[in-house]
Amino acid sequence: MNSTYLYAIVIAAYLCVLILIGLLTGRRTKSVEDFYIGGRQIGPWVTALSFVAAYFSSVVIIGGGGFGYMFGMSTLWIGAINVLLGTMICWMVLGPRVRQFTQRLNTMTIPGFFGERYRSKFALMFSAVIIVVFMIFYNVSILKGMGHIFEVLMDIPYGYGILLASIIILFYVSIGGYLAVVWTSFVQAWVMGIGLVLLTIFSVRAIGGIGAANLNLAALDSGLVQTPGIWGWPGLVSFALIVSFGVWGMPQLVVRFYSIKNLKVLKIGTVIATIGTCMALLPYFNGAIARTLFPQLGNPDLAIPILAKNVLSPLGSAVVLAAVVAAGMSTFASILIILSSSVIDDIYRKGFQRQVNREKILFWSKVASALIGTISLIVALKPPALVLTLTAFAWAVIASTTLWPLLLGIYWKRATGWGCAASMVAGCATSLAWMAAGKPFGIHGFIPGIIIGGLVFVIVSLVTPPFPEEHIQRIWQAKSKN
Amino acid sequence: MGPFNTPWLTFLAWLVAGACVVFSIIWAIWLYKPQENDDE
């Protein structure tokens, strides 16, 4: 069978499963809490694997392969730090308290938590606006990544590829909300895992074993097997930190802790998420292997697609393609829910203090997710140069804005609203300025953003009045009435 | 040089990932004890 037809059949079957999940979960989405956080009733497997799927977009699989191709085996450390800091420690440190505190404060979003924890409308609005603006840029980059995959592997024109993926995502997100997102992400995590493991087994076999891969890489350049190798410490460490510690401030991932059923379930989820994230090492590893098999690739981002096409059967290659598309779709869908809740619940209802009944919020949240998805799609069809530049800033800016207010908000009773607001502005401005200056010393903008944001938070909190004891008691010791 | 012709510092990345899995299991079974009234 022609491989293009095979790809189309596998992708079509996969998309049908997503539509089915959208229809099934749509029946269970009856309230705003269901739409935003699945009614806080999500189990460990679905929470953990949907976290993994949302963590790794197609940009990571394709881009990770590209990094492995360019810089070699030292990039395995990015995957390892993803497992250590981005997942295991993140779940242990943030998970329990975020779950408890957000329920006590009755909040469903990250900006909503800031608004209640710090009694600050500025923190609510500033974080919501930053999330909306930069998440849209991030979504555009994800759509772009998916469009190029369709183009390279299936010969589907860029515009048609992203149109197809977007319509399916908008359908199931608008109907099923968060439940549809986590259940489709659960399926997508399995597709990603199977695709990456399959690719790894066959690429190692093609090169003659891991030892042979390392010898061949060392023959090309010994820096391709050494750590930090040809990338150098500043680039490797700062990149590993932004894609690991930065996760602690990413709303589409942190919201998983809001929605998990209870703390016992969270324990099991931590183990599953840690195991699942181990697949993060595989794109880098496969990218490095591709360097030995195809040393003359013009574009490093083609490493994974070309490797899949050459070492796998057409069916296996189609599964890897489905994995890459799955990675993009799960992240895009997770972000749509965050965007919808930020616009409707945070900015419109709380920020502008509109009295809207719960049914109307649910309706407008569905409309908002469809509209925002459509805007992302239109921008992605022909992204202006400025948007492309800003997509590279998205993670750094969002994480620099939200990370300290979240972390210190659940661990430091002395944290104040002024400290939070000053930290948000300083962290955001520093990371933006650093990236705009062209990343001096090869250091990612997240690093200065997070250092300045943290310092400003602590200093301003210490020189401004603490919250009254009753407010702190409410957050730290109040018990849920539910 | 470590296993599979990998320099030890590079090979350590695989070990770190494996150690995380083991530690998360130990944490879940023995170290993390949510209180009854924490379970909201």
C-alpha–C-alpha distance, residues A244 and A90, integer Å: 9
**Candidates B13, B18, B28; nearest CB to A271:** B28
**Candidates A73, A227, A267; nearest CB to B28:** A267
Q: Is any Cβ of chain B less than 8 angstroms from the Cβ of A314? A: no
One-letter amino acid at A351 equals G
pLDDT on residue B36? 53
Q: Hey, how many other C-beta atoms are within 10 angstroms of the C-beta on A295?
A: 11
C-alpha–C-alpha distance, residues B13 and A31, integer Å: 44
| Contact yes or no for A290/A65 (Cβ under 8 A) | yes
Q: Is the pLDDT of residue A211 over 80?
A: yes
Q: Is any Cβ of chain A less than 8 angstroms from the Cβ of B8? A: no
- Tokens matching residue A129: 């606006």
Note whether A479 contacts B20, CB cutoff 8 Å: no
| Contact yes or no for A223/A229 (Cβ under 8 A) | yes
Q: Please name the residue that has the structure tokens 């849209």.
A: A136
Residues A246-273 have a mean pLDDT of: 88
Residues of A in contact with B4 (CB under 8 A): 209-211, 214
Residues A428-453 have a mean pLDDT of: 88
Q: What separation, in Å, do the N-terminal and C-terminal C-alpha atoms of chain A show? A: 57
Q: Is any Cβ of chain B less than 8 angstroms from the Cβ of A37? A: no
Query: Which residues fall within 8 angstroms of residue A328, CB to CB, at 6 or more apart?
Result: A57, A58, A59, A142, A143, A145, A146, A149, A165
As a whole number of Å, the CA-based R_g of chain A is 22
**Candidates B6, B24, B32; nearest CB to A88:** B24
C-alpha–C-alpha distance, residues A169 and A329, integer Å: 7
| Contact yes or no for A145/A309 (Cβ under 8 A) | no
Structure pTM?
A: 0.89
Residues A85-92 have a mean pLDDT of: 95
Residues of B in contact with A218 (CB under 8 A): 5
Residue A475 pLDDT grade (very low, low, confident, very high; cuts 50, 70, 90): confident
| Contact yes or no for A395/A450 (Cβ under 8 A) | no
| Contact yes or no for B18/A76 (Cβ under 8 A) | no
Determine the 3-state secondary structure of A294 from DSSP: coil
Determine the 3-state secondary structure of A228 from DSSP: coil
Q: Is any Cβ of chain B less than 8 angstroms from the Cβ of A92? A: yes
Query: Which phi and psi angles does A186 have, rounded to 5°?
Result: -60, -50
Q: For A338-367, what is each residue's pLDDT tens digit?
A: 888 888 888 888 888 777 777 788 888 888
Q: Is any Cβ of chain B less than 8 angstroms from the Cβ of A105? A: no
Note whether A281 contacts B13, CB cutoff 8 Å: yes
Closest CA to A33 of A92, A112, A114: A112
Q: Hey, how many other C-beta atoms are within 10 angstroms of the C-beta on A340?
A: 28
Percentage of residues in chain A with pLDDT exceeding 90?
34
Q: How far is B30 from chain A (nearest CA, A)?
A: 11
Residue A222 to residues A70, A78, A229, B29, Cα–Cα distance (Å) = 13, 19, 8, 42
C-alpha–C-alpha distance, residues A319 and A324, integer Å: 9
Give Cα A171 distance to the centre of its chain.
20
C-alpha–C-alpha distance, residues A449 and A443, integer Å: 11
Note whether A80 contacts B10, CB cutoff 8 Å: no
- Tokens matching residue A130: 């930053």
Residues of A in contact with B40 (CB under 8 A): 99-100, 103-104, 262, 479-480, 482
- Range in A63-72, A196-205, A316-325, A403-412 the model is least confident about: A316-325
Beta bridge partners of A42: A260
Residues of A in contact with B10 (CB under 8 A): 73-74, 76-77, 225-227, 229
Q: Is the pLDDT of residue A482 over 60?
A: no
- Tokens matching residue A304: 């994974």
Count Cα atoms within 13 angstroms, Cβ side, for A405.
37
Residues A264-270 have a mean pLDDT of: 91
Residues A88-93 have a mean pLDDT of: 95
Residue A218 pLDDT grade (very low, low, confident, very high; cuts 50, 70, 90): very high
**Candidates B4, B10, B39; nearest CB to A263:** B39
As a whole number of Å, the CA-based R_g of chain B is 17
Q: What is the mean pLDDT of chain A?
A: 87
Give Cα A17 distance to the centre of its chain.
22
Query: Which residues fall within 8 angstroms of residue A1, CB to CB, at 6 or more apart?
Result: A314
Q: For B18-38, what is each residue's pLDDT tens digit?
A: 999 999 999 999 888 886 555
One-letter amino acid at A381 equals L
B 11-40 near A (Cβ less than 8 A): 12-14, 16-18, 20-21, 23-25, 27-28, 32, 34, 37-40
- Using CA coordinates, name the residue in chain B closest to A258: B40
Residues A213-240 have a mean pLDDT of: 90
**E strands in A99-195:** none
pLDDT on residue B24? 96
Mutation target vs A (from B6, B27, B31; most A CBs, 10 A cutoff): B6
Note whether B21 contacts A262, CB cutoff 8 Å: no
